[in-house]
Amino acid sequence: MTATIIDGKAHALALRTRVAAQVATFRAATGRAPGLAVVLVGEDPASAVYVRNKGKATRDAGMESFEHRLPADTTSDVLLALVARLNADPAVDGILVQLPLPAHIDAQAVLLAIDPDKDVDGFHPVNAGRLAIGAEGFVPCTPLGCLMLLQDVHPHLAGLEAVVVGRSNIVGKPMAQLLLQQSCTVTIVHSRTRDVFGHTRQADIVVAAVGIPQFIRGDWIKPGATVIDVGINRTDAGLVGDVDFAAAAQVAGAITPVPGGVGPMTIACLIRNTYVSACRRDGVEARL
């Protein structure tokens, strides 16, 4: 069997195009553009590339991008003061503080300072709680993008066995919550799991968010299963995912590539969340 390759780039472009059309309607109705503030502390080159790409995607959608670049030695107090200003700024609908932050800054404290109703990353504990109880809030962009790709392959997710590899607050845990909300039977495996492939081999859906290049082997996948590879690993061989793509594609029914899979959907969902935030803040219905 050779898997269908899930084209994340095409899905992302379609979503961004839909959002851009709705943003035009929003601007005509309200006389203002939705705004996204992105904060980058330090000079990590990979982070700088992401922030540039986010700014471009924001402007391409007809929204305003406010980019704040701070030096690596910025204090927590200075960063918290900037977040407070962005919280109070009516032109800002979404706030994203690029992670990772330098080690001397308490990242949890910074995330906690963001107004949950501008938290388009969905990282604030209030939004994590809203997701857990099924209340309206912001869902982290990467798992939301993964869910959209999965729903294209499986219009009915209910009853499917899903295994999420990884339990981080920004990918694994919210991914498991979303799949549970869709009535999948969800298993989360992590570094202390005794038999990771014993679990993945049973799964109809495997979401890999481990951070280890090509960690998931081809024979860990059940024939016909859907594989979503969240991993972004820069190696000497270039950018690779957390799945051994060549081997897994021989077994899976559908699989996302890296690059061109989940990554572009993350940015498209950030644009979507920012548009939705602007609609909520102005009391107009979000249409997507």
Ligand X SMILES: NC(=O)C1=CN([C@@H]2O[C@H](COP(=O)(O)OP(=O)(O)OC[C@H]3O[C@@H](n4cnc5c(N)ncnc54)[C@H](OP(=O)(O)O)[C@@H]3O)[C@@H](O)[C@H]2O)C=CC1
Ligand Y SMILES: Nc1nc(=O)c2c([nH]1)NC[C@@H]1CN(c3ccc(C(=O)N[C@@H](CCC(=O)O)C(=O)O)cc3)C=[N+]21
Please give the sequence-ordered ranges of beta strands (E in DSSP) within the chain, or none if there are none.
4-5, 35-41, 64-70, 94-97, 161-165, 185-189, 205-208, 226-229, 233-235, 238-240, 254-255
Tokens of 190: 């992590």
Chosen from ligand Y, ligand X, none, partner binding at 157 (C-beta under 5 to 8 Å by type): none
Chosen from ligand X, ligand Y, none, partner binding at 259 (C-beta under 5 to 8 Å by type): ligand Y
Give the alpha-carbon dihedral of 108, 114, 120, 123, to 10 degrees: 20
DSSP 150-194: HHHH-S--TT-EEEEE---TTTHHHHHHHHHHTT-EEEEE-TT-S
Task: Please confirm, yes or no, whether 222 is among the known catalytic residues.
Answer: no
Regarding 270 and contact with ligand X (CB under 6 A), the answer is no
- Provide the minimum distance between the beta carbon of 195 and ligand Y in the complex, in angstroms, as a whole number: 29
Chosen from ligand X, ligand Y, none, partner binding at 121 (C-beta under 5 to 8 Å by type): ligand Y
- Provide the minimum distance between the beta carbon of 39 and ligand Y in the complex, in angstroms, as a whole number: 9
Nearest of 77, 69, 71 to residue 50 by alpha carbon: 69
**72: alpha, beta or left? (left if phi > 0; alpha if psi -120 to 50):** alpha
Regarding 51 and contact with ligand Y (CB under 6 A), the answer is no
| Residue 211 marked ligand-binding | no
When binding is defined by CB under 6 A, the residue of 23, 110, 232, 279 that contacts ligand Y is: 232
Q: Which stretch binds ligand Y (CB under 6 A): 83-91, 92-100, 179-187, 279-287?
A: 92-100
When binding is defined by CB under 6 A, the residue of 3, 113, 209, 227 that contacts ligand X is: 209
Tokens of 232: 């972004």
Chosen from ligand X, ligand Y, none, partner binding at 260 (C-beta under 5 to 8 Å by type): ligand Y
Could you tell me which residues are annotated as the binding site for NADP(+)? Answer: 166-168, 232
Which are the catalytic amino acids? 54, 98, 121
Point out which residues bind ligand Y (CB under 6 A): 50, 96-99, 121, 141, 232, 239, 258-260, 263-264, 266-267
